[in-house]
A and B are shown apart, each in its own frame.
Chain A
Amino acid sequence: MIYQWFVRNSIIIGISVFVVLWFGLYFIAGYKNYKTILLLWFVLTAVLSILNVLFLKKVIQPFERLIETIQSLHQPSDNKPQSLLQESLDEKFNQSLRNLIEKLQANYSNIVHQRNELEALLSSMVEGMIAVDNQGYVLRINRAARELFSIHNDEFNGKLLIEVVRNTDLQNFVQKLLTQKTTLEDKIVISKIQKTLQVHGSPLYDTQGMQFGVVLVLNDITRLEKLEKIRREFVSNVSHELKTPITSIRGYVETIREIGFEDREMTIKFLDTILKHTERLSAIIEDLLNLSRIERDEREIEKEEMDLIPILRNLVEELEPRLQKYQIQVEFKVPNQLICLGNKLLLRQAFFNLLDNAIKYAADGKKIVIQSQIQDQKIVLSFQDFGPGIDKKHHERIFERFYRLDVARSRNLGGTGLGLAIVKHVILAHHGNVTLESEVGKGTTFQIHLPIFTPNDQLT
């Protein structure tokens, strides 16, 4: 302030100083020595002017610069503030001012940096994050949470969470969290997109330890839940499938123990039943083990360059007694050679399961056609029967473990319901897929699609 006043009034001050000097000298030296006075006046004036200039430069200018510097701090910039303050001020003062400014600058860029980092962190989080204040107003919602609840950018600023996210589960949860002031966990469902979220909420405290809001972290556990459900169903299916033969075995063994062996014929009949069920038990276990082995090694099963045709002909030859019994003709519509990259044992097992089904479920004087084509760089190998067919409603589930159209019939034929599941996984392990075409009353065609083999393919 003072220096500004000085600058503004420098002319008046200067003139006043000269006038005062003039009269001062006049009174001291008297009128007669006016020459000396004039000389003195000139000398003093010159000295004062020089002092004045120096004064302005040395004292006032640094303040001006200081102000400039401080003002420049309001905007983020890369100016080096230390260059602005120079030697003129007391070196100590100058140094501490410089430190202060440096510190401020550093803090400022730190804050900016941290804010950006936090922003990046929050938006790259897979988990949704929502923070609200004690009144339920939104403080922050990260990208993942915005996507989960389909909130469009910035719609949430300064609004109540209830206005932004319309989900009763979530609202109840936040309400509970705000009143209980503890950490809470729950599951909430977004019915619109059929998702299940695991939500974890905890209070937010400031540095004084006062709660100023709550933060929610949301985990999408839809897939986990689904897997868990499949696993549960599988376990329940397996235990059911195992309990059935065990019930028989136990019942017959206990009965034989009870009544003794007097009736030899009946005892043998009972023993045969027991044998049948132990065989079934081991078949189920064998199939389950096979399945889990294939599934586990899906990526690294051993494959070699091989011809599918001899395997098929061989299998049919082996099945000849059963084919003859049911008077089934097998018709081959295949080339002499069909080379692919595969695992002989597994593919053989898959083909066997398909032929076995065709014989079991579509028998009685009909025929089976085995045909191959090349389509879109794939080998398409089809097994066609002319049996009862499979209704459309089963198509989606038929490859599931233990899925059978007629449980009793399949069981009596010795089936475990794992045959097609094995086919599916064997073919998947060969980077192929299985499809099904069927019309009730006309027959069924299972098609196996396998990648074609080109000799420069890497052997795995």
Chain B
Amino acid sequence: MQKEKIFVIEDEEDIAEIIRFNLQREGFEVKVVYSGNEAISRIKQEMPKLILLDLMLPGIDGLTLFRLLKQDAATKSIPVIMVTAKGEETDIVTGLELGADDYIPKPFKIRELIARVKSVMRKKTTITPSETDDIQIGEIRILPEKHEIYVNDQLVKLTQTEFKILHAMARKPGRVFTRYQIVDVARGSDAIVTDRSVDVHIVSIRRKLGSAGKRIETVHGVGYKFLE
């Protein structure tokens, strides 16, 4: 079987080495690139299945490199996981809004890293349900056609805005939504949502879902995600 190829773009040699070691053990083919400048041409040549991208790189920095990848039709659809040691979340938020699939803060657990890599790989093969498809995740069932949500077969009354937010997040479980992305999702509904009021809506959804509310997880300083 052809091994899936992963690119690790990381300037710290020892970190790159241990990532490679572990991902290889998991059966992936791993290529390490130490600088942003070198990365672009090699990615185009070798078309990896996934890119692990450190945001602090010498030369072209991670975020710039990421933008270039997303602008290029050839590389646009390669999933990217950002890896970062930065204290500030702004870069992560920017990255997610530009379409990064996930991010891992340093220092990370190796197991966590592997799990994220596998999850992103898997998600690429499972198709996102369409706007109208019914969704069942654990105890939550969403019927978009009827605009109804059931928790353990109990009908839950959500406002139009809350429904839109929950539905959008449940369609892509495990994926981090930034506040701005949630604002975008809720656009055109009954209430005007701003990046500040997002939190209020989330609190309300959680409360209405009861015990199932735990599925909406806060990602500190970044946004929220719906757990699988």
A-side interface residues toward B, CB under 8 Å?
235-236, 239-240, 243-244, 246-252, 254-255, 258-259, 273, 276-277, 406-408, 411-412
Contact = CB atoms under 8 A, between A and B. Distances in A.
Contact of A240 (B14, B25, B87, B110): B87
22 contacts: A235-B87, A236-B88, A239-B87, A243-B85, A243-B107, A248-B12, A248-B15, A248-B18, A250-B107, A251-B19, A251-B107, A251-B108, A251-B110, A252-B14, A254-B110, A255-B18, A406-B58, A408-B11, A408-B12, A408-B58, A411-B12, A412-B13
A254 B111 CA distance: 8
A276 B13 CA distance: 13
Interface of B: 11-15, 17-19, 21-22, 25, 34, 56, 58, 85-88, 106-111
B22 A255 contact: yes
Contact of A247 (B13, B88, B106): B106
B85 A252 contact: no
Contacts of B21: 255
A236 B13 CA distance: 22
B65 to A, nearest CB: 16
Given A255-B18, A255-B22, A408-B12, A247 B110 contact: no
A407 B11 contact: yes
Given A254-B111, A255-B110, A244 B88 contact: no
Nearest to B105: A243
Contacts of B58: 406-408
B110 A236 contact: no
B110 A258 contact: yes
A273 B21 CA distance: 14
Given A235-B87, A236-B86, A244 B15 contact: yes
Contacts of B12: 244, 247-248, 408, 411
A253 B25 CA distance: 16
Nearest to B88: A236
Contact of A246 (B19, B34, B107): B107
A412 B107 CA distance: 19
Question: Sorted from nearest, which 5 A-B pairs have the closest CB atoms?
Answer: A251-B18, A247-B107, A243-B85, A247-B106, A248-B14
A255 B111 CA distance: 9
A392 B21 CA distance: 41
A153 B188 CA distance: 55
Which DSSP category, helix, strand, loop or mixed, fits chain A's interface?
Answer: helix
B37 to A, nearest CB: 13
A277 B18 CA distance: 13
A277 B14 CA distance: 9
B54 to A, nearest CB: 10
Contacts of A243: 85, 106-107
Contact of B56 (A240, A251, A259, A412): A240
Scoring B34, B58, B109 by chain A CB atoms within 10 A of each residue's CB, the highest score goes to B58
A249 B15 CA distance: 9
B15 A251 contact: yes
Nearest to B18: A251
A403 to B, nearest CB: 13
A251 B25 CA distance: 14
Contacts of B106: 243-244, 246-247
A277 to B, nearest CB: 7
A250 B14 CA distance: 11
Given A240-B85, A250-B110, 6 more contacts: A244-B12, A247-B85, A251-B14, A252-B14, A408-B11, A412-B13
Nearest to A405: B58
Given A408-B12, A408-B34, A240 B86 contact: yes
A244 B84 CA distance: 10
Nearest to B21: A255
A363 to B, nearest CB: 20
Given A247-B108, A408-B12, A412-B13, A252 B86 contact: no
A442 to B, nearest CB: 24
Contacts of A236: 86-88
Contacts of B87: 235-236, 239-240
A248 B107 CA distance: 8
Contacts of A249: 107
Contacts of A408: 11-13, 34, 58
A239 B109 CA distance: 18
A239 to B, nearest CB: 5
A252 B11 CA distance: 17
Nearest to A242: B85
Nearest to A409: B58
B13 A252 contact: no
Contacts of B15: 244, 247-248, 251
A252 B22 CA distance: 10
Nearest to A411: B12
A258 B112 CA distance: 13
A408 B9 CA distance: 13
Contacts of A248: 12, 14-15, 18
A252 B19 CA distance: 9
A273 B34 CA distance: 18
Q: Which of A243, A247, A252, A255 has the most CB of B within 10 A?
A: A247
Contacts of B34: 408
Nearest to B12: A244
Contact of A252 (B18, B56, B109, B111): B18
A283 B108 CA distance: 22
Nearest to A277: B14
A108 B20 CA distance: 88
